[in-house]
Structure 1
């Protein structure tokens, strides 16, 4: 899936993606028995959608993916596991439905890292007060989450942009700034690599607001994503990202609904 202009001519590509279908949307009773009600896993359909999204990325986007950065919430980790399985499969199988259906390559160079800056917006707007941790502390066992990826794929040398989970009660503006800063810092740190950020509704919409300012977002579907590109100069300085296209994202532009249309011409 190499592109003629992918990094060879100094372009960096970034995909910002929402997680797949969450279990509590399909099974309302799950919350009544769950220990971590605020951290639902993917539903089966979410697994299938995530793997299919990985297959689309592998076969259609026209550039290689080098790194995947992931919110520590379980639904994002599981989405990432399916995405990287599709990208790292020994060969592309259009009939495969999940990571269980494909053998993975032993020499995949793809790297993954967990990033607190990609967390869900921690407020009652997005997490109901009655299911949030009573002490306001969202705990994650990072080593257990990292174990969900093939051996050697987790890059332990990458420092998180945000060393701690955001505080409960953060404002939408604070989270918007957090998402934007996380993308900028990591993109600037790896200017010669193409990246995927697997995050939440807020992360995708914040990206759209920042880089496509005339848009008014109103729906980000499961595994909905925004694809960005920018030119990186020889001294590693880069111009501003531009939104190339989106998938599973609907928004308004100049009062006209746009659905997954190309917004600007892609340089790849």
Structure 2
């Protein structure tokens, strides 16, 4: 059996471009995409146009939903999957980050599939090891349950965890998790092969230093 799992990180976020946004934001730990981030997400969508993606799964954070939204213009629904969430690190966030409700997100992004229920739930607080484990677990579960080609849109930590959850390895395994990068994993039988490792060739602008928080 052959299957392709695409894994993308969200595009550039507003607080990376304007750190002062955080100081007055209503939901400071759920930033939207920046203006150039929206352009990156469009470039990602253009790169994936023509690929045989049957399902899109996205972390429920706004920046990942906005990134998935551009790809979903290919007439695919978006399934919000908690297991692809940001690393809920208590050193970054003093509490579970406030996010828009699924209903509020659906008003902005009608492609969201309200009938879908997360297969894995991310719980605050969690260690880096726990974040890697749950994103690896959700990648394996989704690949098994949805045997067609799928796209997972997550964060730096969940891109790394989901990738290693399928190909194996440890946190020391080199996986490029730059903004709006693309990982391509292909299964032939029981074997997973990484054909793209955090590819950013579809982007007109890329970051020089990879940031995770």
Q: Which residue of 1 aligns with 2:43?
A: 52
> Is 2:174 aligned against 1:217?
yes
RMSD between superposed Cα atoms in Å:
2.2
Q: Which has the larger radius of gyration?
A: 1
Point out the structure with the larger helix share: 2
Q: 2:149 aligns with which of 162, 171, 194?
A: 194
Report the Cα distance in structure 2 between the residues aligned to 1:213 and 1:165, rounded to whole angstroms: 22
> Is 2:55 aligned against 1:67?
yes
Alpha-carbon distance, 1:137 to partner: 5.7
Give matches, 1:217-236, under 5 Å: 217=174, 219-231=176-188
Whether the aligned pair in 1 keeps the contact of 2:136 and 2:163 (CA below 8 Å) is no
SS at match of 1:217: coil
Query: TM-score, normalised on structure 2?
Result: 0.83
Q: 1:182 aligns with which of 138, 162, 166?
A: 138
Question: Residue deviations 1:163-220, cap 9 Å, x none?
Answer: x44122x0111111101110111111111x2111000000112234341638633752
Whether the aligned pair in 2 keeps the contact of 1:81 and 1:148 (CA below 8 Å) is no
Query: TM-score, normalised on structure 1?
Result: 0.67
SS at match of 1:28: coil
Report the Cα distance in structure 1 between the residues aligned to 2:173 and 2:18, rounded to whole angstroms: 31
Report the Cα distance in structure 1 between the residues aligned to 2:68 and 2:117, rounded to whole angstroms: 19
Report the Cα distance in structure 1 between the residues aligned to 2:88 and 2:20, rounded to whole angstroms: 23
Alpha-carbon distance, 1:84 to partner: 1.6
SS at match of 1:220: coil
Question: Residue deviations 1:35-83, cap 9 Å, x none?
Answer: 1111111000000001111101115xxx311111010111101111112
Whether the aligned pair in 1 keeps the contact of 2:82 and 2:122 (CA below 8 Å) is yes
> Is 2:12 aligned against 1:21?
yes
Whether the aligned pair in 2 keeps the contact of 1:204 and 1:225 (CA below 8 Å) is no
Whether the aligned pair in 1 keeps the contact of 2:68 and 2:153 (CA below 8 Å) is yes
Give matches, 1:55-134, under 5 Å: 55-59=46-50, 63-85=51-73, 88=74, 108=75, 110-124=76-90, 128-129=92-93, 132-133=94-95
SS at match of 1:244: strand
> Is 2:131 aligned against 1:143?
no
Whether the aligned pair in 1 keeps the contact of 2:9 and 2:181 (CA below 8 Å) is yes
Report the Cα distance in structure 2 between the residues aligned to 1:245 and 1:218, rounded to whole angstroms: 10
Q: Which residue of 2 aligns with 1:37?
A: 28
Alpha-carbon distance, 1:159 to partner: 2.5
Moved over 6 A (4+): none
Report the Cα distance in structure 2 between the residues aligned to 1:54 and 1:141, rounded to whole angstroms: 25
Unpaired segments ≥5 residues, structure 1: 1-9, 89-107, 232-237, 250-268
Unpaired segments ≥5 residues, structure 2: 202-213
